[in-house]
A and B are shown apart, each in its own frame.
Chain A
Amino acid sequence: MITNKINKLGLSLSTLCCLCALCVSCSDFLEIKSREEILLEDFWVEKTDVDNIVAGCYSGLQSDNVISRMIVWGEARSENMMVGEHDPVDGNLQNILKENIKTKNAYTTWDGFYSVINRCNTVLKYAPGVAERDPGYTQSELKATIAEMSALRDLCYFYLIRAFRNVPYSTVAYTDDDQVMDLPPSQFYDVLDSLILDLEKVQSYALTRYPETKPEYQTGRITKCAIWAMLCEMYLWKQDYDNCIKYADLVIEDKKNYVKERRGQGQANQSSYGNTDSRFNGYPLIDCRNGAYEAIFIDGNSQETIFELPFDKADPGYSRLGNSAVGRLYGSSDYTSFIKPSNTVAEDGSKSSQRVIYADRNKSFDSRIYWNANGDNNYGSISKYAYQMVTISGSSSITGISHGLYSYAKVNNVDHFSNSSPWIIYRLTDIMLLKAEALSQKLREGTDQAVLEYNAPLLAEAFSLVNAVNKRALYQVTLTDTLLASAYSTKSLMEDLVMQERHRELMFEGKRWFDIVRRCLREGNTNAACNAVARRSGLNAQYVLNTLRSPLIGMWAIFLPYNDEETKVNLNLAANQNPAFDSGESSISK
Chain B
Amino acid sequence: MRILKSILLTMALMLATAAGAQDITSVHGTVSDEMGGLMGATVCEIDGTGRIINSAVTDLNGNFTMKVKNPKDKIRFTYVGMKAQVLPINKTTFNIVMTSATTLKEVTVKSKKRMQGNALPIPEREISYATQTISMKEFEGLGITSVDEALQGRIAGLDIIGNSGDLGSGSTMRLRGVSSLSSLTDSNPLIVVDGNIREVNLSDFDLAGANNEKFAELLNINPEDIADITVLKDAAATAVYGSQGGNGVIELKTKRGVRGKPKLTYSLKLTGTYQPKGYNLLTGDDYTMMLKEAYFNPSQNDNAADQYTIPEINYLGDTGGFPDWRQYRANTDWRDAVTQWGLRQNHYVTISGGGEKASFRIGGGFDHETGTMIEQKLNRFSTRVALDYNVSDRIRVSTNFALTYTKNDMNYDGLLGIAQKKMPNMSIYEIDPDTGKETDVYYTMPRSGPYIGSAVFEHDQRTYVNPVASAHLAKNQRRTYDMSPELVINYQLLGTDDEHHQLNWRGSVYMNIFNQYDDKAYPWELNPLKYGDGINSAYTGSSKSVSFNTKQTLTFIPAFKNKDHSVMLMGRFELTSGSSNGQSTNAVGLVTGVEAPSAGGLKYSPGSWYNQWRSMYYTFSTHYAFKERYIADFTVRADGTTKFGPGHRWGYFPSVSLKWIVSDEPWMQKLKPILSTLALRPSWGRVGNQPNQNYLYTSKYGGTDKYLDMSAMAPLNIRLTDLKWQIVSSYNVGLDIHFLDEKLNLTVEGYRSTTSDMLMANYRIPSNAGYATVPYRNSGKMRNIGWEFHINTNRFIKAGKFYMDMNANFGNNRNEILEMDEYILNNLNSTYQYKNGEYLQRVQLHNPFGAIYGFKYHGVYTHNYNTFVRLNLSDEEYQQFTKGTLPDEFYEKYGWKKQPYSAPVATNADGSLIRDAKGQPLRMMFNYTNDASGRNYKFNGGDAIYDDANHDGNINALDICYLGSSLPKLTGGFGFTFNYGDWRLSTQFTYRVGNKILNMSRLNLESMIYNDNQAQAVNYRWRKESDVTTIPRAMHGEYTAFNSLVSDRYVEDGSYLRMSYAQLSYALKKNQLKWIGLNRLSFYASINNPFVLTKYSGVDPDISQSGYAPAIDYAQTPRSRSYTLGVTVDF
Contact = CB atoms under 8 A, between A and B. Distances in A.
Interface of A: 1, 4-5, 7-9, 11-13, 15-16, 18-20, 22-23, 29-32, 34-41, 43, 49, 51-60, 62-63, 88, 95, 100, 102, 104, 109-111, 114-115, 117-119, 121-122, 167-168, 170, 174-179, 181-183, 214, 216-217, 220-221, 310, 316, 319-321, 540, 543, 564-566, 568-570, 573, 583-590
Q: Residue among A7, A111, A121 with the most chain B CB within 10 A?
A: A111
Contacts of A11: 13-14, 17
B699 A177 contact: no
Contact of A320 (B6, B614, B700, B705): B705
| Chain B contact patch, size range | 35 or more
A23 B573 contact: yes
Contacts of B668: none
Q: Residue among A51, A95, A588 with the most chain B CB within 10 A?
A: A588
Given A53-B714, A55-B711, A569-B823, A12 B10 contact: yes
A63 B705 CA distance: 9
23 contacts: A4-B48, A8-B493, A9-B494, A11-B13, A19-B3, A19-B6, A23-B616, A39-B695, A39-B699, A43-B701, A52-B712, A55-B711, A109-B767, A174-B769, A177-B720, A177-B721, A177-B774, A178-B722, A181-B769, A220-B708, A565-B764, A586-B956, A588-B957
B955 to A, nearest CB: 12
B704 A60 contact: yes
A104 B719 CA distance: 29
Contact of B832 (A30, A114, A585): A585
B743 to A, nearest CB: 46
A114 B768 CA distance: 5
Contact of B14 (A12, A19, A183, A217): A12
Given A39-B695, A310-B708, A585-B957, A32 B720 contact: no
B771 interface: yes
Contacts of A121: 770
B17 A4 contact: yes
Nearest to B704: A56
B573 A20 contact: yes
Contacts of B14: 8, 11-12
A83 to B, nearest CB: 15
Q: Residue among A31, A176, A587 with the most chain B CB within 10 A?
A: A176
Given A38-B700, A585-B957, A217 B708 contact: yes
Given A56-B712, A320-B705, 6 more contacts: A12-B13, A37-B701, A59-B706, A566-B766, A569-B764, A589-B959
A584 B949 CA distance: 21
Contact of A181 (B711, B721, B766, B956): B766
Nearest to A9: B493
A13 B503 CA distance: 11
A39 B698 contact: yes
A62 B48 contact: no
A217 B708 CA distance: 8
Interface of B: 2-3, 6-7, 9-10, 13-14, 17, 20, 48, 72, 459, 491, 493-494, 503, 505, 552, 554, 573, 575, 602-603, 609-610, 612-616, 640-642, 649, 694-695, 698-702, 704-716, 718-723, 764-772, 774, 777, 823, 826-827, 831-832, 840, 842, 844, 931-933, 949, 956-961
Contact of A114 (B48, B494, B767): B767
A58 B706 CA distance: 9
A109 B494 CA distance: 71
A518 B805 CA distance: 86
Contacts of B765: 177, 181, 569
A30 B602 contact: no
A316 B602 contact: yes
B706 A319 contact: yes
Contacts of B459: 88
Contact of B705 (A59, A217, A310, A316): A59
Contacts of A221: 708
A125 B279 CA distance: 63
By DSSP majority rule, is chain B's interface helix, strand, loop, or mixed? mixed
Given A23-B575, A177-B718, A569 B707 contact: no
A258 to B, nearest CB: 19
B823 A100 contact: no
A321 B958 contact: no
Contacts of A9: 493-494, 503
B958 A586 contact: yes
A73 B48 CA distance: 87
A240 B777 CA distance: 46
A527 B613 CA distance: 64
A22 B698 contact: no
Contacts of A175: 699, 715, 718-719
Given A32-B612, A174-B770, A216-B708, A37 B721 contact: no
B702 A38 contact: yes
A324 B710 CA distance: 20
Contacts of B957: 585-589
B494 A214 contact: no
Contacts of B764: 565, 568-569
Nearest to A33: B695
Contact of B715 (A36, A119, A182): A119
A15 B711 CA distance: 52
Nearest to A48: B711
Nearest to B696: A177
Contact of A52 (B710, B767, B768): B710
A559 to B, nearest CB: 17
A154 to B, nearest CB: 15
B933 A58 contact: no
B826 A568 contact: yes
A95 B712 CA distance: 35
Nearest to A102: B933
Contact of A59 (B641, B698, B712): B712
Per CB-CB distance, the 9 closest pairs between chain A and chain B, nearest first, are A118-B770, A55-B712, A40-B699, A55-B710, A56-B714, A111-B767, A52-B713, A37-B700, A570-B766
Contact of A176 (B616, B700, B721): B721
Contacts of B494: 5, 9
Contacts of B949: 589
A30 B640 contact: yes
A227 B992 CA distance: 70
A49 B766 CA distance: 28
A22 B767 CA distance: 45
A12 B706 contact: no
Given A316-B602, A570-B766, A29 B958 contact: no
A109 B503 CA distance: 66
A181 B503 contact: no
B708 A40 contact: no
Given A5-B48, A30-B640, A177-B719, A36 B707 contact: no
A32 B766 contact: no
Contacts of A16: 10, 505, 552, 554, 573
Contacts of B609: 36
B831 A583 contact: yes
B768 A183 contact: yes
Contacts of A53: 701, 712-715
A36 B610 contact: yes
B841 to A, nearest CB: 11
A30 B644 CA distance: 9
Nearest to B640: A30
A114 B769 contact: yes
A175 B832 CA distance: 35
A589 B959 CA distance: 8
A35 B612 CA distance: 9
B532 to A, nearest CB: 10
Given A34-B695, A177-B722, A51 B17 contact: no
B551 to A, nearest CB: 12
A115 B596 CA distance: 40
Contact of B718 (A7, A51, A176, A183): A176
A589 B960 CA distance: 7
Q: Residue among B13, B552, B712 with the most chain A CB within 10 A?
A: B712
